[in-house]
């Protein structure tokens, strides 16, 4: 594994739009909360994230199958799609995040910042639920508040910019998050390049 390359990817930052919720938890309850997250079977909220991680792990094998047996590859992709549909159905039953508007965030595999309606003391520990778009991969993790500054209110009336660093995030969820950031960054770079070419600057 190329650790230096993965570390660089981990700290790519992007502006994104997603659904999230958070709640503050006492610092002394964090070890038990982390243990539950690491040891419990996936909840309905996190099942799509785990499925996405498995799909990413299968990418290389599936590519080989496509080269040797295209029809089998198509069949396997169809099965993957059916499983994804079931995962989304479970997600619909388990969270209200699907029904709330997305919000602008700044995101990397090491942390997230977003606007909130109230001041949160730096050093506070948060349980975060993050719903990535358009994959609907749900990530449950814990983060430490490193800053909370008053800013101009956004359209929803949120008046503070909350900055966090992840304290604990499952390995498979971090992999999904890194891949999400890379894909979003690639799409943003392509869009910027196309805009430059249309303006005659390319």
Q: What is the pLDDT of residue 73?
A: 78
* pLDDT band at residue 199 using 50, 70 and 90 as cut-offs: confident
Smallest CA-to-CA distance from 76 within 87, 91, 65, 67 is with 65
- What CATH number does the domain located at 3-42+97-198 have? 2.40.10.220
- Yes or no: say if 116 and 156 are a contact pair by the CB < 8 Å rule: no
pLDDT higher than 70, residue 175: yes
User: Domain locations in the chain?
Assistant: 3-42+97-198
Question: Regarding predicted confidence, which is higher, 166 or 61?
Answer: 166
What 3-state DSSP class applies to 120? Answer: coil
Report DSSP letters for 57-111, one per residue: HHHHHHHHHHHH-HHHHHHHHHHHHHHHHHHHHHHHHH-SGGGSPPEEEEEETTE
Q: Determine the Cα–Cα distance for residues 138 and 124; give it in Å rounded to an integer.
A: 22
Q: Determine the Cα–Cα distance for residues 111 and 172; give it in Å rounded to an integer.
A: 16
Q: Determine the Cα–Cα distance for residues 3 and 45; give it in Å rounded to an integer.
A: 30
- Yes or no: say if 49 and 94 are a contact pair by the CB < 8 Å rule: no
Q: Residues 84-135: pLDDT tens digits?
A: 766 666 666 656 777 788 999 999 989 999 999 999 999 999 999 999 988 8
């Amino acid at each position: 594994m190329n650790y230096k390359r993965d570390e660089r990817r981990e700290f790519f930052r992007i502006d994104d739009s997603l659904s999230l919720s958070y709640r503050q938890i006492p610092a002394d309850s964090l070890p038990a909360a982390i243990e539950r997250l690491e040891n419990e079977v996936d909840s309905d909220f996190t099942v799509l994230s785990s499925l996405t991680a498995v799909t990413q792990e299968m990418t290389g094998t599936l590519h080989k199958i496509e080269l040797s047996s295209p029809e089998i590859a198509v069949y396997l992709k169809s099965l993957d799609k059916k499983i994804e549909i079931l995962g989304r159905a479970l997600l619909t039953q388990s969270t209200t995040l699907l029904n709330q508007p997305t919000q602008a965030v700044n995101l990397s595999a090491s942390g997230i910042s977003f606007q909130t309606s109230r001041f949160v003391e730096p050093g506070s520990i948060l349980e975060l639920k993050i719903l990535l778009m358009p994959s609907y991969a749900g990530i449950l993790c814990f983060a430490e508040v490193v800053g909370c500054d008053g800013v101009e209110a956004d359209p929803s009336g949120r008046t503070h910019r909350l900055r966090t660093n992840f304290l604990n995030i499952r390995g498979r969820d971090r992999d999904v998050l890194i891949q999400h950031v890379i894909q979003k960054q690639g799409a943003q770079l392509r869009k910027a390049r196309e805009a430059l070419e249309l303006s005659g600057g390319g």
